[in-house]
Amino acid sequence: MPIDPGFLDELDRFEASLNQQSTAIKQGEQESPSVGEGLTFSDYRRYSPGDDTRLIDWRLYARTEEFFIKQFEEERNLTVHILLDASASMDFGDGDGDEHKFEFGAKLGLGYAYLTAEEHDDFQFSLFRDRTERIDTGKSTRGEVLALVDRLNETTPDGTADFRTALEEYAAAIRSRSLVIVITDCIGDLDGLETGLASLARNEVVLVQPLSPDELDPSVGGDTIFEDLESDLTRRTYFGGRLAERYRSRVDAFVDDVSDRTQDLGITHELVATDEDFFDAFSSVWIG
């Protein structure tokens, strides 16, 4: 089912404030950890030869007969980078009960883009498989978000995700400390995923893992054909009893492995079941 842009209007009920620190070049409303000439007073320090004399606090000099320089917090825009897995494993689920993984992940990413635009901050939206492909035009407006809905509705997930290459290449292009949202089912090389996430970890990073309830706890039973979406390989087997128990144990171990790896990197990990109410899911991801 195509994404209906009407869901964006409901997002206005969320408080559109990221409260993240940034060192972006463009001045705006977010506070930066660097200190320079800006809008918010930070502290004083003693004058040193070569300092801008315009920053000397003459009232303080009148009291202390010593030269002190005013320091300010630079206020800058936050850049939110949204990276959405468009590999074949995300092409799972449908609109009849279980949401499609790619569609659900795309809506989460669009939610971030929409609220970021409402805060007059910047977003960049990219798809990734073995490489990243930026699909926004750099406008960071509500109209841009609506255009992204059309672009995502035209996207068919395919191929295999190369987490390491895609994320490392993207990380090298980030020029300021930012918020990075990576949306992927994490199916693939977890060592490569960990390496790719580590390259992004100098930023604030949130890993959102959408999984279908049929992946977490399959409702099928008996003689069943399973298909690998990325390789098109199929396997027919009797699913039930001990095999079903082993499957569920392996899925739990897989999710725990992802969680442990992100925790070691200081990265937030959010598991989302795609049959969850979208706004409840987005609230948990947005607020953390």
Mean pLDDT in residue range 83-92 = 96
Mean pLDDT, to the nearest integer, of 67-92? 84
Q: Which residue has the higher pLDDT, 23 or 271?
A: 271
User: Does the pLDDT at position 88 exceed 80?
Assistant: yes
Q: Over the chain, what is the mean pLDDT?
A: 83
- The residues spanned by each domain of the chain are 7-23+77-287, 29-76
pLDDT score, position 51? 78
Is 1 a residue whose pLDDT tops 80? no
Whether the per-residue pLDDT at 79 is higher than 80: the answer is yes
The DSSP code for 65 is: S
Percentage of the chain lying above the pLDDT 70 cut: 77
Which of 41 and 184 is assigned the larger pLDDT? 184
Q: Which residues pair with 237 in a beta bridge?
A: 224
What is the tens place of the pLDDT at every residue in 197-221?
A: 999 999 999 999 999 998 887 765 5
Q: Residue with structure tokens 């069943």?
A: 224
pLDDT at 151: 97
Least confident range from 59-63, 80-84, 161-165, 220-224: namely 220-224
Query: What is the DSSP secondary structure assignment for residue 127, as one 8-state letter?
Result: E
Q: Which of 130, 227, 128 minimizes the C-alpha distance to 184?
A: 128
Among 97, 281, 265, smallest CA distance to 183 is for: 281
Query: Which pLDDT score is estimated for 153?
Result: 96
| Of 206 and 245, more confident | 206
Give the pLDDT confidence score for residue 219 in this predicted structure. 65
From residue 5, how far is each of 10, 28, 145, 151, 153 by CA, in Å?
10, 28, 9, 12, 10
Look up the CATH number of domain 7-23+77-287: 3.40.50.410
Q: What are the tens digits of pLDDT across the range 115-131?
A: 999 888 999 999 999 99
Mean predicted confidence (pLDDT) in 256-265: 97
pLDDT tens-digit profile of 145-200?
A: 999 999 999 999 999 999 999 999 999 999 888 999 999 999 999 999 999 999 99
pLDDT in tens, 264-283: 999 999 999 999 999 999 98
CA 126 to chain centre: 10
Measured between alpha carbons, how far is 229 from 92 in angstroms, rounded to an integer?
A: 8
Min mean pLDDT across 59-68, 155-164, 227-236, 257-266 is at 227-236
pLDDT above 90 coverage of the chain, percent: 54
Average the pLDDT over 37-43 and give the result. 57
* Rounded-to-integer distance, Cα 49 and Cα 58, Å: 16
Reported confidence tier of residue 242, pLDDT bands at 50, 70, 90: confident
